Structure 1
Amino acid sequence: MGVGASSVGAAEGCGRGWGPRHTSLGDMPESCVAAVLLYLDPAEICQVACLNRAFRGAASADCIWAAKLPANHRYLAALAAAADDDDCSCGCDGVAAEGSCSTVAIKKELYARLCRPTPFDGGTKEFWIEKKGGFCMSISSKAMSITGRNDRRYWSDLSTEESRFHSVAYLRQIWWLEVDGEIDFCFPAGSYSLFFRLHLGRPRTRRARRRGGSDNDIHGWDIRPARFRLSTSDHQQHTTASEAHARLASPGRWVLYHVGDFAVSSPDEVTELRFSMMQIDCTHTKGGLCVDSVCIYPKRHGGYEEDCVFCQKIL
């Protein structure tokens, strides 16, 4: 009887926490958790960090986020620091010091900073890292050479919230359309797709879109094909010619027109990109076109999405 009572007491004691404790997920060493987190993308890492203290500690480890950062993150961080110094209001006068707004020592904080858009070249260009990984860039129409741009008979600058640069180039009417751009940049290694972001018709406010209406300025895009070109300093070239009525369509919508793809193998070398859009058949005029920007995104396997994440937010 004494033995039985002792056994029951021991069992009850275990239930009250007096005896041996069962191991749980929180008992895993942070080093083991970190080894698992290396296989997750940044968004998933942030989700599992809410499980317990072990996962939260491992999710902040430098070794985890160093593996997620681009190989040339120091180059990108220097551009981000310069942009932050230009906007700094802390009185540091742009001098980098330990703990100042110009210095980010923790890799997780650095990754979070690079996920925010970084303007450069006078605010006419921006780059950022997708939260799930992947380098992106946007180049404003203000950074491009546009034939007849300074002649108000042909082009005008329109302010709009539908552009991340808050301004687009609007074509009233012209015989010879040519838009050229270039950029020299140390892109992280990978494969990329380049798009022109265009809109047939004037950009409207939300109220105007609800009312509807026609764009009388839209004309000339169903006669001849528009031609897009892309070339790089290492001789990658793409030329896309398509029927204008099939490509420059969907009035009232922002559309990404795929120009071509390019690959970067060395992130420490400057890649020179040249891109253009033209319709130079002078037998007719064309007009009613908004040129917003050129977008560079990681190449999507299995096809291309017509609208990027930013476009989906504003359409």
Structure 2
Amino acid sequence: MGIWFSTTSSSHSSKPSLDELPESCVAAVMEYMDPPQICKLASLNRTFRGASLADFVWESKLPSNYDIILRKIFDAGSFPSHLRKREIYSRLCSLNTFDDDGNKKVWLDRSMGKLCLCISAKGLYITGIDDRRYWNHIPTEESRFSSVAYLQQIWWFEVDGEVEFPFPPGTYSLFFRIHLGKASKRFGRRVCNTEHVHGWDIKPVRFQLWTSDDQHVASHCFLKGTGKWRYYHAGDFVVEDGNVSTKVKFSMTQIDCTHTKGGLCLDSVFVFPSEFRKVKEFLNHS
């Protein structure tokens, strides 16, 4: 009986532990994991933390043209040259501004390492935006730019924009983030004023998209639903070469002057990898 317990105890003590795994082997496995998994495993012990810092692990998560993206976002000489790949990944996951007015922002999605981009309403060309009879910029906590363009009423609705950026190779989708009605807070609760919402159910809005390499997409869609933000899909485009910048022009119009339309909040235009439409719930309603 005593011999059996002694043998069992000895076998337990001889079992290998996670601390005995070679750091290089752990890092080789991490190369095939997504960033959240890597960060979670890094908290296990010193070996896993060391492996999670390996440059080759994080270089596999960065866009293939990340060096060009860095030069586009950061001024020459302002980005530290000594940063490890994990730190570079973290910097690119922040909301980075790449224009002088702060109206265009770009970041990497933390979970997938894919590039995303957005342009505020102030960075778009909106017909009648300077006439307060039609449009106003109103402050809100519901926009990452802290304000949206609100349309009270207009006959000729036209919004145009463009962006030029070294997108990594892949397929991208462009969306307009729109809200019918004006949201605000009353006694701490969110309320939506739909007083001026009209005209969007009579004729559809036309979306168009053009790229510098001659891609063109056009579609029509009725704007619907009040009280919540919706992402309206304007079209997709394909980037084959990430070493050069792709210029994308886009528009949203409803220029049938037989009726007025109004009560619309325009927040921004987003560019997401097209695969996000399958995994990001907020895009499922577009």
Same fold, judged at TM 0.5 (above) = yes
Hey, which of these two has a bigger chunk of strand by percent? 2
With over 3 angstroms needed to count, the CA separation of the structure-2 counterparts of 1:271 and 1:204, relative to structure 1, is same
State the Cα distance separating 1:304 from its structure 2 match: 7.6
| 3-state DSSP of counterpart to 2:233 | strand
Q: Hey, what does 1:111 align to over in structure 2?
A: 89
Q: Hey, what does 1:261 align to over in structure 2?
A: 236
Return the match for 2:205 from 226, 244, 256.
226
Q: How does 1:47-126 map to 2 (within 5 A)?
A: 47-82=40-75, 96=78, 102-103=80-81, 105-121=83-99, 122-126=101-105
Q: How does 1:60-209 map to 2 (within 5 A)?
A: 60-82=53-75, 96=78, 102-103=80-81, 105-121=83-99, 122-132=101-111, 133-205=113-185, 207=187, 209=189
| 3-state DSSP of counterpart to 1:204 | strand
Q: How does 1:288-299 map to 2 (within 5 A)?
A: 288-299=263-274
The amino acid across from 1:218 in the alignment is V
Q: How does 1:266-281 map to 2 (within 5 A)?
A: 266-281=241-256
State the Cα distance separating 1:8 from its structure 2 match: 9.0
Q: Please give the alpha-carbon distance, in whole angstroms, between the structure 2 residues aligned to 1:271 and 1:261.
A: 13
Report which stretch shifted further, 8-17 or 38-47: 8-17
Q: Please give the alpha-carbon distance, in whole angstroms, between the structure 2 residues aligned to 1:232 and 1:67.
A: 28
Question: Are the counterparts in 2 of residues 184 and 271 from structure 1 also a CA contact under 8 Å?
Answer: yes
Question: Are the counterparts in 2 of residues 231 and 275 from structure 1 also a CA contact under 8 Å?
Answer: yes
State the Cα distance separating 1:102 from its structure 2 match: 4.0
With over 3 angstroms needed to count, the CA separation of the structure-2 counterparts of 1:10 and 1:271, relative to structure 1, is same
Q: Could you report, residue by residue, the CA deviation over 1:70-91 in whole angstroms, capped at 9, with x for unpaired residues?
A: 1121122234444xxxxxxxxx
Q: Could you report, residue by residue, the CA deviation over 1:105-124 in whole angstroms, capped at 9, with x for unpaired residues?
A: 21101101111100121210
TM-score by length of 2: 0.89
State the Cα distance separating 1:16 from its structure 2 match: 10
Show structure 1 runs of 5+ residues with no match.
83-93
Question: Are the counterparts in 2 of residues 81 and 102 from structure 1 also a CA contact under 8 Å?
Answer: no
Q: Hey, what does 1:86 align to over in structure 2?
A: none
The amino acid across from 1:39 in the alignment is Y
| 3-state DSSP of counterpart to 2:195 | coil
With over 3 angstroms needed to count, the CA separation of the structure-2 counterparts of 1:95 and 1:299, relative to structure 1, is closer
Q: Hey, what does 1:282 align to over in structure 2?
A: 257
State the Cα distance separating 1:203 from its structure 2 match: 2.6
State the Cα distance separating 1:130 from its structure 2 match: 0.6
With over 3 angstroms needed to count, the CA separation of the structure-2 counterparts of 1:182 and 1:63, relative to structure 1, is same
State the Cα distance separating 1:32 from its structure 2 match: 1.3
Q: Please give the alpha-carbon distance, in whole angstroms, between the structure 2 residues aligned to 1:13 and 1:252.
A: 65
Show structure 2 runs of 5+ residues with no match.
none
TM-score by length of 1: 0.81
The amino acid across from 2:173 in the alignment is S
With over 3 angstroms needed to count, the CA separation of the structure-2 counterparts of 1:16 and 1:197, relative to structure 1, is closer
The amino acid across from 1:110 in the alignment is I
| 3-state DSSP of counterpart to 2:282 | coil
- Within the alignment, does 1:27 sit opposite 2:20 as a pair? yes
With over 3 angstroms needed to count, the CA separation of the structure-2 counterparts of 1:104 and 1:79, relative to structure 1, is farther
The amino acid across from 1:266 in the alignment is D
Report which stretch shifted further, 218-227 or 26-35: 26-35
User: Rg larger in 1 or in 2?
Assistant: 1
Q: Hey, what does 1:250 align to over in structure 2?
A: 225
Q: How many residues end up aligned between the 2 structures?
A: 282
Q: Please give the alpha-carbon distance, in whole angstroms, between the structure 2 residues aligned to 1:23 and 1:170.
A: 64
With over 3 angstroms needed to count, the CA separation of the structure-2 counterparts of 1:79 and 1:269, relative to structure 1, is closer
| 3-state DSSP of counterpart to 2:87 | helix
Q: Please give the alpha-carbon distance, in whole angstroms, between the structure 1 residues aligned to 2:5 and 2:132.
A: 93
Q: Please give the alpha-carbon distance, in whole angstroms, between the structure 2 residues aligned to 1:306 and 1:22.
A: 44
State the Cα distance separating 1:305 from its structure 2 match: 4.9
Question: Are the counterparts in 2 of residues 194 and 296 from structure 1 also a CA contact under 8 Å?
Answer: yes
Q: Please give the alpha-carbon distance, in whole angstroms, between the structure 2 residues aligned to 1:195 and 1:263.
A: 15
